[in-house]
Amino acid sequence: MSGDVLLSGERLGHRYLDRFPALDDVSLELREGEALALLGANGSGKSTLLKVLAGLVPCQSGTLTAFGEPVSEEALADHATNARFRSRVGLVFQNPAAQLFSATVEEDLRFGCRQLGLDAAETGRRVAEAADLLGIGELLDRSPAHLSVGQQKRAAIGSVLVMSPQVLLFDEPTASLDPRTADWLTGLLRSLRDAGRTLVIATHDLDLAAAVTDRCLVLGEDHRPAATGPTPAVLADQDLLTEANLVAPSASRHPGHPPSITVERR
Ligand SMILES: Nc1ncnc2c1ncn2[C@@H]1O[C@H](COP(=O)(O)OP(=O)(O)OP(=O)(O)O)[C@@H](O)[C@H]1O
Ligand SMILES: [Mg+2]
């Protein structure tokens, strides 16, 4: 990888409420233009790591550097530093409802443009472009609270894409999507990568990781890095995948379904 290092975390550690461990001694480097998958079992710390990288959860130990500047609570307390950082790093939450708070989807998309201080013409252009890209034109005047989770997900992605951040962090982007929509989103993430965006994708969807990412960081259930390497090598390591609880041992994959049961179709 030859691009500049955009984000770098060194020996990051976090415990919620000083009690619940979420990250322990995690180091990573994210280079311009690369796509990194964060893999790991439920509760291993993927979402926490994304929130740390997005400057939303301060680490109790270790250091985070973004675009050559330290990221800390003190640094982000400065308005100009905060605005600069937030315009360059965007996080799409695991729970899309958590980032949709306006009366309509369109207002949620406009909100990000307002944060950037964009004028009305540029805002209109970006909202229309994101709505078109995500196929949410029909949803613009709807209340986000009344959308299906899959629709909310597309709206939440739109609310981040309008800001056009250089680094895009996606938390379980294909979860709750039907297979056709998940496929379409995989294609969208690939095209973002091909267009030069830098991506970090936390996911249980190994097909997504294979299709979009160059490299994987696997978090173990002890919240420490269990492995890191090129995506094809990580995904070919069955022992690692089983140990990190990324695939179920084949014998227990479909428990309780004896082959004698048949499915009736209309
Ligand atoms: N707000 C919180 N307060 C207390 N503990 C938390 C909080 N958020 C997460 N945790 C704990 O931190 C650990 C890591 O959680 P995290 O959500 O980062 O895992 P994850 O890898 O994203 O899991 P999943 O695959 O289920 O999304 C878990 O043990 C979780 O219970
Ligand atoms: Mg998570």
Say if residues 244 and 223 touch (Cβ distance below 8 Å).
no
Q: Which tens digit of pLDDT belongs to each residue from 66-104?
A: 999 999 999 999 999 999 999 999 999 999 999 999 999
Mean pLDDT for 105-124 is 95
Determine if ligand 1 sits within 6 Å of the CB of residue 45.
Answer: yes
**177-201 burial code (b ≥16 CB/10 A, e <16):** beeebbeebbebbbebbeeebbbbb
Q: What is the pTM of this model?
A: 0.94
Flag whether pLDDT at 47 surpasses 70: yes
Position 263 confidence tier, pLDDT thresholds 50, 70, 90: confident
Cβ neighbours, 10 Å, residue 154: 25
CATH number of 5-248: 3.40.50.300
According to the model, what pLDDT value does residue 131 have? 97
CB of 95 shorter than 6 A to ligand 1: no
Q: Which atom of ligand 1 is nearest to the CA of 202?
A: 22
Q: Interior CA angle at 145 toward 143 and 149, to 5°?
A: 115
Domain ranges within the chain, ordered by starting residue: 5-248
Indicate if the pLDDT at residue 1 is higher than 70: no
- What average pLDDT does the structure give for the chain? 93
If you measure from the C-alpha of residue 220 to the centroid of ligand 2, how many angstroms do you get, rounded to a whole number? 13
Nearest CA to ligand 1 atom 29: 43
> Does residue 156 contact residue 99 with C-beta atoms inside 8 Å?
yes
Binning pLDDT at 50, 70 and 90, where does residue 257 land? low
Q: pLDDT, tens digit, for every residue of 157-172?
A: 999 999 999 999 999 9
Distance 216 CA to ligand 2 centre (A): 16
